[in-house]
Every structure is written in structure tokens, then in C-alpha cells.
Structure 1
Amino acid sequence: MSERFAQQRLSRRTFLTFAGMTIAGSALAACAVAPAAPAAPAGGETAAPAEGALPFADRTLTIFSAQHHHADVKELWVPIFEEKTGAKVEWIEVGGGDVDAKYAVSVASQDGSFDTMYTWETLNAKYGRTLMEDITDSFDSGLLDGLVPAPRKALNFLGRQYGVPFDSNMAIFMWNKEIYEAAGLDPATPPETFEQFREFSKATTSDGKYATLFTMGDANSGFVTYISIFNSSGGQLLSDDLTKLQLDTDEGLAAMQALYDLFVTDKTADPAGVTVASSIEQGKIFRAGNMAHYYAFPNHYTLAQDPEQSQVVDKVQTGIIPGLSLRSGSVNGFEGYAINRFSPNKELALAWLEHTISPEVQSLVALNWGRPPALSATFDDPAVAEKAPQFASVKEQGGYPSPRYGSPFYFDVGAVFVEHMLAMMDGNMTPEEAVSTIQGEAQQIIDDYWAKAG
């Protein structure tokens, strides 16, 4: 390999890693655990509020969140919390892609300026032991038992619970019935296998329009694309202890070959996907009527029925994702909140976490946001079933694997995947070469992490 090519490759990977939110690097996540702020006083040591008084009157809770939570969490959930508790809420938000860098700095500075914080599987794995409070023994186990198991597990790292999910969001399959019918396909019958998905994609690629789009624009989105296909292969990408990448297998190659077939052999996946780094943008393309089908998050169905932002109202239907070896597989997008371990307000932050999974808030998650709730009982609400028919697909999809493979080295490993998958899609590598190269380079990243973290 020439020095020039090696430098180009490093530059490309660095870009992908930065774009995938690992600007501050893995070293901070591997640091020894720093001293935390004192825990909240035990119940007997806290003065009880006067009779009739609100439990947290005149207290202030600072929430650190992502911008895409503003309309629902800040505008709808926060006022209810303030009314119930008497607390005042201060809100800090950044773009979702900037959260990782902020948390890395917060670890280094032992930042206690916010009390509760946005999280998802990889943030939980990367910062659980260094920034987030371990709530395994302090959070009401009865409340946790009422949650859908998969998202609860996603915010558990190596046996310890660091966050509480507010949704059970995972990708499902969505298609445009009008495009199916125009292509001579049954508009009520989606593909069930990946081979059928290929055939349906060929039938609906024409006139300069591609059948589908997969996001490949950064380390996170491209890794998610691969995982969403791999999870129906019957394989397990990471060992249970997160020390071994298990890509160089029949299952790993089958998923890589599937992507190669869509992008290179069949040319049915829109090549513009290599610049798309967000499922939000992916959904906009579908709602413009510009593709036949894709792996969609459930709230995309709600958006597709909104005439103010959709050209496909009443033209879409949902089902489960067609599979490679298994009938189906998916990838999760679970989100939740955690407590900042440096916060002096942990008791109040714990009350916020409980609030996010209350029946009242969980109904808002389902009915207003269009996301599947984390609270199992909310699925049985007749109003939810009527307004969110896509949740029937979510419940069925939940019977199949949907791990995100969140880890402290997720973004770094994702950058390796995307670098070589893009080379494969450009015709510069075979699927076999991509799998072998990724296996070696990504495993080295994993080994280096554990050598530092212990």
C-alpha cells in the first residue's frame, strides 16, 4: 500500500469518525472512574414536604437533551413534570451529532451543571461507567419490569442499568402501495425474504428513480445500515462480553453480499445514500414519493400521513423487514434519559426518569410522537391502537433480533465499516475482501480499547 493511499484512507476514516460523533476520542471513555457527586440523601434524611405541598417545590432540574426532543419532550413532557412536582426545569439542547463530544468533555471536567441527560445504547455503553449514575439498585424495579424488555436491556451495560428508555423504537418495513401497483406488484403484499426484496426492488427501479435508499453518510448511519441487514442472518456481530467482532463468518459475508447486490449488482439502491447520514432525511425522500420501500422507523408512518409534509398520504403500509436467513431482523433506535453522576440533584433527576415512563407521558410518546412506547401497557390502549396502526408491525418485528451493538468503541468501529463498504460499493473491493479487512482493523480497535480500559 502506498504512503499516499494510506494517508488518504486515514483521512477518510477520521472524517467518518468525526461525523459519527466521536470527535473527542475513546481515551476519555476508557479513563478510570472519577469520583462522583454525593448520592441523594436516603429517604429518612430528607425533610418531607408539608402536607399538600409539591414534592420538589422551588427546586430546579437541568435537562441536557438533543434538538430532536424539543417539540415533544420540552414542549409537552416538561410542563406536566413542573406541574406535578413543583420543580422548575432548565433546558439545554444540542444537535444529536454533538452529544458525544459534549459528554466526553463532561467526563474530563466532572461537569455537574446538568442533572439528567439524553441517552441511547451507544452513549450508555460509552459513558455509563464514567458519566451516568448506576441506577441498578436505586430505580424502582417494578417500574422497570413494566417496560418492553429490549429497550430496557439496551440501556444496561455489562449487567448494570444506567438509563431508562422512553420508547421501543426499531426499524420496520414501509412501502408505497401506489408504486407497487404501478410495477405490477400486489400493493398489499410486501417481500418476505431478502431475495424477494431484491426482485421487488428491480421491479420498482425505473425512470431515474431507485427503489430504495440506505444511509451511508457517516460512521453511525452506515453501521446501522449494515446491522439492519446482518440482524436477519442468524449471526451475532459482537460477543456478549464485547471483546470479539464476529464479522468474518458466513453470516457476516451474507449481509455484506446483500449490500453489494443492491448497490453494485442490481443498482436498485440510490447511490445518493452515501451522503445521507440521517433517517430523517431518508424519510423525507420517501414522503416525496421518490422510492418504493425502505427500512423505516415507526414515526415515519405518522409523518407520511401528514398532508403538510407528505405526498404519499394514504398510499403507504407497514410490515416487518424481509430477512436473509431468519424471517426478519431489525435495528433499534431506542432512546431514553440517564442521571448525571456528578449532579447534586440526583433525587430530582430520578423523579424525571420515572416521569418519562409514566402512563401519561407514554401516551404522548405513542399518540403525539408516533414512536412505539416503552411501557408495555400503553400498547393495549385502544386510542393508541387506532391512531398508530404501525405499532402492530412493531410488535411483530419485536419477535426478531434488533441489537444496535452499542459499545464504547461503536463510532470507531463504525468508521471502519463505512470506509470499506464505500470502497466495495465503488467497485474497489469484493464483499469477501471488505469482510476480511474490516474484521482485522475493527478487532484491533476493540483490543486497544480493552487494553486501556481493563
Structure 2
Amino acid sequence: MSEQQPQHGLSRRRFLTLAGLTVAGGALSACTAMPAAPAASTGSTEAESAGSGLPFADQELNIFSAQHHNENVKGLWVPMFEEKTGAKVNWIEVGGGDVDAKYAVFVASQDSSVDTMYTWETLNAKYGRTLMEDITEQMDPALMDGLVAAPRKALNFLGKQYGVPFDSNMAIFMWNKEIYEAAGLDPEKAPESWAEFIEYSKPTTGDGKYATLFTMGDANSGFVTYVSLFNSTGGQLFSDDLTQLQLETDEGLLAMQSLYDAFVTDAVADPAGVTVASSIEQGKIFRAGNMAHYYAFPNHYTLAQDPEQSQVVDKVQTGIIPGLTLRSGSVNGFEGYAINRFSPNKDLALAWLEHTISPEVQSLVALNWGRPPALSATFDDPAVAEKSPQFASVKEQGGYPSPRYGSPFYFDVGAVFVEHMLAMMDGNMTPEEAVTTIQGEAQQIIDDYWAKAG
């Protein structure tokens, strides 16, 4: 399960092997000896002195973003920003799965052609120190204090703020009431534990259909699937300083065994999930009426109510994810924007970041996109509560752990997880062996990173 678009082509692990770590090596070397970045521009003052009345009249802002932001960010937020500031926005986009490689090239070349860029927890951790401007002292504290704490923290790496979140997106639970009722289950009541989740899944599996689907199609989606289970064990997967993987524990094994049971022992998870690398595709399967329940991002509820792309309109309900040891646990899909440290237009880029968390944009995040907003006050808008009832589940889900464990080595460690989880599902190793093998191989990746990066 992953809100970002899938990684395309070779896996990150395979790519790094074939490429001899060339690009990544350039990025790592940049971690320790970065050249001075351009100072913040004075464009705001200059524009205002020209008497235009708009703070950034005739200036250009180059935004680098992901394709899944096209409809909402480019289509709605950008025109508002241009009207408000007088700036002209140039929009550059790539598939979400291609962003990591692009940013590695930006670091190596000290690219100044873009001013602000798409980010999420892992990109923030991996490229914060080398590509993104430290905005800890630049953002108005009053604006930052108005944000939901968890997404703000996710874009802070080792005490420095490198990005501003525009949502508080995290997975919740969604089920098809019609399928529940047909299976003799209470359509108004969701499972409240992993054991109940399996119990509910058995009668809703059959006739070529499976009760649920977990995404395992690439390093990102497979790691997120594992973490979404692990986070309800009460364990902590990484040390606070990100130097130690803590998988070889009772909690780590419990999550691995549970995933194995869903795919193999109880066979309630669709085996096609091993090729699905995006929650976007996962949601399409649910909206076609082809599974009973799954871990869904909140905007999937909005999509499920759209008759143009859903067969389950008025048939779905949301709640919190059933947990293994804790009542619940989740995984976040927080996204935001950062400033390119090499940009000559940092004042204008900062204005864009502030725009993304303005009340008017945050209303669009909630009402048009169906994502939970980053601005806490937006949740209190009656229109938001009426149109997005799933946010009540988000609010409750927020009381339980939802770390994504973003790190500079996220994709490489994720590739190790997926490689051995798939081998486990194919019967080539036990859950215990998978945990031990992943612990050893992933820890070596982590050790190697810190030895080079410092």
C-alpha cells in the first residue's frame, strides 16, 4: 500500500547494483561537503517597490512535482497562487516513482532550475541535508503551530525542518457493507483486532475473489504493507537516530507471521497483490466491488462515492485499522513541498509553501481531494465534516502509531524486505528466517550509509 506512484522499471536495489552506485554515490558524497547555496532572494521587496501591488509580479516560480498532483495542485492551487502573488508558475512533473532518481541527479549537478519541489517523509530524510533548504527559522512559527503535529514532524529530519506538509494523510480501514451482509456479517461493524480481521476475511473469500489486497509490487509499497501491520504491535522498527533496524524482535516476527498467514495460511489476501505497487490501483479494485475490506487512504472514500469511477457508491464505511497487539496502528502518506537549496528564488518559493497551508488551499485539500488537511482548524469547518465523514475515522486513527520510517536508505532497505517477504510467501523461507535474513542484510545497508554520510 502506497499513496505515491509505483517505482518503474528496475527495483532500486537492482538499479544500484547495476549502476555501481554511481548516482547514489554522488548524492552521498554531497552529504558531507556541500557548497554554499544561494542566499534567499530579495525579490519580494523589489517587486513591491515597483508599485504593482502584487508581491511577486512578473517573477517566475518553477515547481517540480509528481503526476498525481496534477489535477489538484496544478489545476486548483497554482491559479490561486498566480492571482494572489502576480507570479507566473512553470510546472514540471514526473511519475511519483521517478522522483528519487531525479533528486539524486539534482544533488549531483547542484541544479537550480527548480525552486520548490514535492516531498514526503523519505525524500525529506534522504535529500533534506543535500537538496532542500532548512526552513526551521524561515517559516512563521504561528503558521507551523497551526498544523497537525504528525505530518509536521515527518518533514523534520534530525531536528531541522525541510518541508511543509499540506495534508495529514494516513491509512484507515474501509469495508464494503454489501459484501459483509452477504457473508452473514454485521455490515455496520468492522473487525476490531487482527484475529477478527482474519475471521471476517474467511467468509468474504471465495468464488475467485479474495477478502483483501496488500500491495507488494515494489520496495516502497511492500515496505509500507509490512509497516502498516508492525505499527500495531507496539514496537519501534528503527532506533531514534536511524542507525539500528529493530526487526529481530517479538513484534517484528508477529507482523511477519501475520502477513504470511494472510497470504498463505489463511489465503485471504489476493496473491495478485505481489504485482500491485500503488494504493491507487488497490483502490480501483475495491471500487469495482472485488474485495470486502482493506487498509485505505482517506481520499479513497471520496473516490468510492463517485459514480463515474465506482461500483460501490453508498455501500462503503470507514473505521480504524484492526490491530495485532494494540487496538490499531497505521502508516502515514503525508506529502508536502520543500525549497530547493540551490534556487535563486527562495522568497517566492517560501510564499508557495505558505500558500499550500493557507485556509483556502486547505479547504480544497479536504473538500476536493478528499485528503485530511494539515491545518488543524480546517477539520472544524462544517462543510468539511459533512462532505468527508471519513475524517472522523482519521481523527480516531491519529491516536495510534503511524510512522513510515522514512530514511535516506528507505528504498534500499525496502527492497530487502520485499525480496525476502516474497520468498517467504513462495515457501522458500519461514517467517523466522525472513526476519533474521532481512535484519542482517538491511542493517548492513544502514551501516554502510552512515559510514559514508557521517
- TM-score class, shorter-chain normalisation, is over 0.9
How far, CA to CA, are the matches of 2:360 and 2:264 in structure 1?
48
Identity %: 83
Equivalence for 2:190: 190
Equivalence for 1:132: 132
| Alignment map for 1:288-303 (pairs within 5 Å) | 288-303=288-303
Alpha-carbon shift at residue 174 of structure 1 (Å): 0.2
Equivalence for 2:13: 14
Unaligned segments of structure 2, at least 5 residues: 1-9
Does the 8 Å contact 1:169/1:298 carry over to 2? yes
Off by >6 Å, runs of 4+ in structure 1: 42-45
How far, CA to CA, are the matches of 1:315 and 1:291 in structure 2?
12
How far, CA to CA, are the matches of 1:33 and 1:288 in structure 2?
51
Equivalence for 2:244: 244
How far, CA to CA, are the matches of 2:25 and 2:291 in structure 1?
38
Does the 8 Å contact 1:65/1:91 carry over to 2? yes
Equivalence for 1:263: 263
Equivalence for 1:154: 154
Equivalence for 2:347: 347
| Alignment map for 1:278-427 (pairs within 5 Å) | 278-427=278-427
Q: 1:17 to 1:252 in 2, by over 3 A?
A: farther
Q: Which amino acid is 1:392 matched to? A: A
Equivalence for 1:28: 27
Q: 1:338 to 1:108 in 2, by over 3 A?
A: same
Does the 8 Å contact 1:29/1:104 carry over to 2? no
Does the 8 Å contact 1:64/1:117 carry over to 2? yes
Alpha-carbon shift at residue 211 of structure 1 (Å): 0.3
The answer to whether the aligner puts 1:141 opposite 2:141 as a matched pair is yes
Alpha-carbon shift at residue 17 of structure 1 (Å): 7.2
Equivalence for 1:5: none
Equivalence for 1:7: none
Q: 1:289 to 1:347 in 2, by over 3 A?
A: same
Q: Which amino acid is 1:37 matched to? A: A
How far, CA to CA, are the matches of 1:206 and 1:163 in structure 2?
45
SS in 2 for 1:65: strand
Equivalence for 2:430: 430
Q: Which amino acid is 2:263 matched to? A: F
Does the 8 Å contact 1:29/1:126 carry over to 2? no
| Alignment map for 1:197-236 (pairs within 5 Å) | 197-236=197-236
Alpha-carbon shift at residue 35 of structure 1 (Å): 1.8
Q: 1:357 to 1:113 in 2, by over 3 A?
A: same
> Number of aligned pairs?
441
Does the 8 Å contact 1:33/1:130 carry over to 2? no
SS in 1 for 2:327: coil
SS in 2 for 1:369: coil
How far, CA to CA, are the matches of 1:399 and 1:26 in structure 2?
39
How far, CA to CA, are the matches of 2:263 and 2:398 in structure 1?
28
Q: 1:12 to 1:322 in 2, by over 3 A?
A: same
Does the 8 Å contact 2:416/2:441 carry over to 1? yes
Equivalence for 1:63: 63
Q: Which amino acid is 1:83 matched to? A: E
Does the 8 Å contact 2:47/2:56 carry over to 1? no
How far, CA to CA, are the matches of 1:305 and 1:47 in structure 2?
45
Alpha-carbon shift at residue 285 of structure 1 (Å): 0.3
Q: 1:366 to 1:162 in 2, by over 3 A?
A: same
Q: 1:185 to 1:16 in 2, by over 3 A?
A: farther
Alpha-carbon shift at residue 25 of structure 1 (Å): 3.1
Does the 8 Å contact 2:287/2:310 carry over to 1? yes
Equivalence for 1:6: none
SS in 1 for 2:368: helix
Does the 8 Å contact 2:173/2:294 carry over to 1? yes
The answer to whether the aligner puts 1:273 opposite 2:290 as a matched pair is no
How far, CA to CA, are the matches of 1:79 and 1:288 in structure 2?
34
Q: Which amino acid is 1:223 matched to? A: F
Does the 8 Å contact 1:17/1:411 carry over to 2? no
Q: 1:385 to 1:145 in 2, by over 3 A?
A: same
Q: 1:336 to 1:29 in 2, by over 3 A?
A: farther
Does the 8 Å contact 1:229/1:323 carry over to 2? yes
How far, CA to CA, are the matches of 2:25 and 2:229 in structure 1?
27
Q: 1:17 to 1:258 in 2, by over 3 A?
A: farther
Alpha-carbon shift at residue 303 of structure 1 (Å): 0.3
Q: Which amino acid is 1:436 matched to? A: T
Q: 1:92 to 1:13 in 2, by over 3 A?
A: closer
Q: Which amino acid is 2:296 matched to? A: A
Does the 8 Å contact 2:48/2:54 carry over to 1? no
SS in 2 for 1:235: coil
Q: Deviations over 1:172-213 (max 9, x none)?
A: 000000000000000000000000001111121011100000
Equivalence for 1:102: 102
How far, CA to CA, are the matches of 2:25 and 2:63 in structure 1?
25
TM-score with structure 1 length normalisation?
0.94
Q: 1:319 to 1:26 in 2, by over 3 A?
A: farther
SS in 1 for 2:174: strand
Q: 1:144 to 1:404 in 2, by over 3 A?
A: same
How far, CA to CA, are the matches of 2:16 and 2:268 in structure 1?
27
Alpha-carbon shift at residue 27 of structure 1 (Å): 5.1
Alpha-carbon shift at residue 40 of structure 1 (Å): 1.6
Unaligned segments of structure 1, at least 5 residues: 1-10
Alpha-carbon shift at residue 63 of structure 1 (Å): 0.2
How far, CA to CA, are the matches of 1:439 and 1:26 in structure 2?
23
Equivalence for 2:4: none
Alpha-carbon shift at residue 13 of structure 1 (Å): 7.6
Q: 1:104 to 1:43 in 2, by over 3 A?
A: closer
Does the 8 Å contact 1:13/1:419 carry over to 2? no
Does the 8 Å contact 2:43/2:345 carry over to 1? no
TM-score with structure 2 length normalisation?
0.94
Does the 8 Å contact 1:232/1:326 carry over to 2? yes
Q: 1:401 to 1:235 in 2, by over 3 A?
A: same
How far, CA to CA, are the matches of 2:311 and 2:410 in structure 1?
36
Does the 8 Å contact 2:47/2:57 carry over to 1? no
